[in-house]
Amino acid sequence: MMKKIILLFTLFFVATMSVFAQCPPENSTFSFDEDDFDPGTVSATEAAPNSGDVMSNNLDVWNASSNSSGTDGTGDIQLTYKAVVSYPNACANQDGDFLIEASWGGASLPLPGPSSGSDFGGATDDDCLCAHGYVVMVVDFTDAGTPGGLKSTAAGFNFDWSSINGSSEGYEYGFGFVSAGTDVNGAPLSGLNTLAAVETQLPTYCNAQYVAGTTVSQHALASSTGVFTNQGDALNATINDCNTSGERGEDTGSGSGPNSGGDAGGVSGLNPDDMITQVTFIYGLSNAPGSDCTFDGDTDDTAVNTNPSGSFSGITLCVPPPPCGISADIVITEDCGVYDVEISNVAFEGAADGYTVGVSTSETGPFTTIGSTYTGTANQEIMNVTLPGTPGVDSYYFELIEDTEANCSNVFGPIAAPKENIPSCTPLITGGE
CATH number of the domain that residue 339 is part of: 2.60.40
**CA atoms of 199 and 361, how far apart (whole Å):** 60
Whole-Å CA distances, 417 to 174, 359, 371, 389: 65, 12, 18, 11
Q: Are residues 372 and 254 in the same domain?
A: no
Q: Are residues 35 and 86 in the same domain?
A: yes
Q: Are residues 182 and 307 in the same domain?
A: yes
- 91-113 pLDDT per residue, tens: 766 677 889 999 999 898 876 66
Q: Are residues 35 and 77 in the same domain?
A: yes
Task: Say if 258 falls within a structural domain.
Answer: yes
The pTM for the full model equals 0.78
Task: Say if 198 falls within a structural domain.
Answer: yes
DSSP string, 213-266: T--HHHHH-S--TTBBSS-B----SBPP-TTT-TTTTTB-B-B--TTSSEE--S
Phi, psi at 384, each rounded to 5°: 55, 50
Cis peptide before 272 (omega within 30 of 0): no
- Tell me the HSE value of 104 on the side-chain side, using a 13 A CA sphere: 26
249: pLDDT strictly greater than 90: no
Task: Say if 385 falls within a structural domain.
Answer: yes
- 299-352 pLDDT per residue, tens: 567 888 889 999 999 999 999 987 777 889 999 998 887 899 999 999 887 667
Q: Which of 304, 319, 334 is the last residue of a domain?
A: 319
**CA atoms of 87 and 132, how far apart (whole Å):** 7
Alpha-helix residue ranges (DSSP H) falling in 115-263: 195-201, 207-211, 216-220
Q: Are residues 280 and 147 in the same domain?
A: yes
**Beta bridge partners of residue 227, listed in sequence order:** 177
Q: Are residues 313 and 337 in the same domain?
A: no
- 224-240 pLDDT per residue, tens: 999 999 999 999 999 98
Q: Which of 268, 303, 319 is the last residue of a domain?
A: 319
- Which residue range forms the structural domain that includes residue 86? 18-319
Q: Are residues 304 and 353 in the same domain?
A: no
Q: Are residues 81 and 200 in the same domain?
A: yes
Residues 6+ apart with CB under 8 A from 19: 154, 155, 266, 267, 268, 270, 271, 272
Cβ atoms of residues 296 and 240 within 8 Å: no
Task: Say if 381 falls within a structural domain.
Answer: yes
Residues 6+ apart with CB under 8 A from 423: none
Can you give the pLDDT at residue 244?
87
Q: Are residues 183 and 276 in the same domain?
A: yes
Strand, helix or coil for residue 181:
strand
Please tell me the total count of domains within the chain.
2
CA proximity to 65, closest of 148, 144, 165, 162: 148
| Greatest distance between any 2 Cα atoms in the chain | 133
Q: Are residues 344 and 267 in the same domain?
A: no
Q: Parallel, antiparallel, or unpaired: how do β-strands 54-55 and 171-182 relate?
A: unpaired
Strand, helix or coil for residue 156:
helix
Task: Say if 237 falls within a structural domain.
Answer: yes
Q: Are residues 337 and 234 in the same domain?
A: no
CA proximity to 19, closest of 245, 140, 232, 181: 181
Task: Say if 433 falls within a structural domain.
Answer: no
Can you give the pLDDT at residue 111?
64
- In this prediction, residues 75-83 reach a mean pLDDT of 97
Q: Are residues 232 and 117 in the same domain?
A: yes
429: pLDDT strictly greater than 90: no
Task: Say if 303 falls within a structural domain.
Answer: yes
Task: Say if 380 falls within a structural domain.
Answer: yes
Q: Which of 266, 290, 319 is the last residue of a domain?
A: 319
Cβ atoms of residues 411 and 405 within 8 Å: no
